[in-house]
Amino acid sequence: GAAMAHGHGPGRCRCCGEEAAERGAAWGLYLRIDRQRLQCLNERREGSGATVFRPWEERGDRSQFVESDDDEELLFNIPFTGSVKLKGVIVMGEEDGTHPAEMRLFRNIPHMSFDDTAKEPEQTFSLSRDPLGELEYPTKIARFSNVYHLSMHFPKNFGAETTKIFYIGLKGEWTEAHRHEVTICNYEASANPADHKLEQITPQTHFIS
């Protein structure tokens, strides 16, 4: 009875705040974007494309959005600071014709241009209008398991001259990029006799990837 009084359906007895915090953490990939190199092509206001990648809790901030310029197309080039396994996407817009109607995802093609969007994407989604950021589009994880660069192409909307996006959520796992040779160089450079003794006792430490 107590769980029902809390306003949750059966089986959901955790408190709302806790659940929201957990859900917000799942959408934390925006923290792993290399913002120096993030690009949004055909944005009306320079730098506005970057503002749609923000905390899940702040998705309702209507002051931050990107609007397309010449036509309804938008193209994001999103480099990550490591390797990402992308599991889901949220795209939030207005309840009108400016909301994107289609999303095409490409992996590991840095600096994509609109010419490059003629290529076959890894996955295409038909979008529904989502003014509250509630709809999650699940990716085919096998195709997005080792993504260091994600391109998102929005080719069309629901009929307006320009497209507006308020929030893009990216859900998944992030792994630090491993550059093995660099690790070894650093290790050798800082080596001292004590290290070498350790290495003889436990040779496997050398092979931590």
pLDDT, tens digit, for every residue of 129-150? 999 999 999 999 999 999 999 9
Q: What is the pLDDT of residues 39-87, one digit of tens each?
A: 999 999 999 999 999 999 999 999 999 999 999 999 999 999 999 999 9
Q: What residue spans define the domains of the chain? A: 23-176
Strand 102-107 and strand 147-154: pairing?
Answer: antiparallel
Burial 58-95 (b: 16+ CB within 10 A, else e): ebeeeeebbbbeeebbbbbbbbbeebbbbbbbbbbbbe
Which residues on adjacent β-strands are paired with residue 38? none
Q: Per the structure block, which two tokens stand in for 94?
A: 């207005």
Residue 85 or 192, more confident: 85
Considering the four listed CATH numbers 2.60.120.470, 2.60.40.420, 3.30.160.270, 3.40.50.12280, the one that applies to the domain covering 23-176 is 2.60.120.470
Distance of CA 102 to the CA centre of its chain: 17
Q: Is the pLDDT of residue 2 over 50?
A: no
- 8 A C-beta contact, residue 106 and residue 33: no
The encoded tokens of residue 191 equal 């080596």
Q: What is the pTM of this model?
A: 0.77
